Amino acid sequence: MKMTGKPEATWRMPNQLASMISELRHLVREKTFRAGEQIYAQGEPSNSFYFVVSGLVQISIFRIDGVEIVLEKMGPDTICGEATAFAGLPSFSSAVATEPTTVLEFEARRLPDLFREHPEFALILLRLTSLKQRVLALRLEQMVSNKPEERVLELLTRLGEMFGTRHAKGNMVRTRLTHEMIAAMTGVSRVTVTRTLKRMRESGTLYLDDGYFVISPAHAERLDVG
């Protein structure tokens, strides 16, 4: 199951999908976005979902108080917006290209015809939405706790599973994350992120190498049961 990724991305998908997508060019329209442009907006319904070809797309929820919660940063070979397109309800999140980005736009209403010919495509989509559901549930599991260490560790562990590489001290997370980004993704304040990371380094849970996080193996298996 080879995967692709981007340094700042927080999500990746099996290449299997990317190859399948290429068979479906007749269904899609290519679109390009400049850095800062919005792909879809929170609160608006949509019939399309998007496959990121290149670039980086930030998925976030804006709370009523204006606080932005970053759900994911989707790199190449990932899809987004599918939940909105399938559920037929206003989007719960918005997507903004944080750098020049090219996407393929799929229209959900064309899917029934497609499924007749390619039932395996339906299974792939089901698998993808189920994976997202799973990750959201696991994030929720950590979020109910107000302990910042759990919140941060959940994020880093997940990224470690997705992008991790072997390292003498454990699992190295190959995603560049500022403390502020971690704060936006975990819902704790930036100051607390700094404090927490320090604590974790002192307790041996975490290790820093060249600006990358390394998670000690003793803590990395934490999510395997879920």
Partner DNA sequence: CGCTGACAGTATCCGGCGATACAGCGCCGA
Partner DNA sequence: TCGGCGCTGTATCGCCGGATACTGTCAGCG
List of residues 6+ apart from 181 with CB closer than 8 A: 70
Q: Which of 134, 142, 151 is nearest to 185 (CA)?
A: 151
Total residues at interface with its own copies (CB under 8 A)? 53
Which one of 15, 32, 38, 133 is in contact with its own copies (CB under 8 A)? 133
Tell me which residues in 160-199 interact with DNA (CB under 7 A). 178-180, 187-192, 194-198
Written as six digits, the tokens of 41 are 């907006």
DSSP sequence for the chain:
--B---TT--B--BHHHHHHHHTTGGG-EEEEE-TT-EEE-TT---SEEEEEEEEEEEEEEE-TTS-EEEEEEE-TT-EESHHHHHHTS--SSEEEEEEEEEEEEEEGGGHHHHHHH-HHHHHHHHHHHHHHHHHHHHHHHHHTS--HHHHHHHHHHHHHHHH-EEETTEEEE-S---HHHHHHHHSS-HHHHHHHHHHHHHTTSEEEETTEEEE-HHHHGGGGG-
145 binds its own copies per the rule CB under 8 A:
yes
Which one of 29, 63, 109, 147 is in contact with DNA (CB under 7 A)? 147
Which of DNA, its own copies, none does residue 180 bind (CB under 5 to 8 Å by kind)? Answer: DNA
Written as six digits, the tokens of 170 are 């454990």
Of 139 and 190, which has the nearer Cβ to DNA?
Answer: 190
Return the range that interacts with its own copies (CB under 8 A); candidates 1-9, 17-25, 132-140, 172-180.
Answer: 132-140
Binding mask 59-88 toward its own copies (x if CB under 8 A, else -) reads --x-xx--x-x-x----------xxxxxxx
Residue 106: CB atoms within 10 A of its CB come to: 24
Which of DNA, its own copies, none does residue 101 bind (CB under 5 to 8 Å by kind)? Answer: none
140 binds DNA per the rule CB under 7 A:
no
Of 93 and 167, which has the nearer Cβ to its own copies?
Answer: 93
195 binds its own copies per the rule CB under 8 A:
no
Tell me which residues in 101-120 interact with its own copies (CB under 8 A). 111-113, 115-116, 119-120
Of 31 and 201, which has the nearer Cβ to DNA?
Answer: 201
Provide the binding-site residues for its own copies, judged by CB under 8 A: 42-43, 61, 63-64, 67, 69, 71, 82-90, 92-93, 111-113, 115-116, 119-120, 122-123, 125-127, 129-134, 136-141, 143-146, 186-187, 222, 224-226
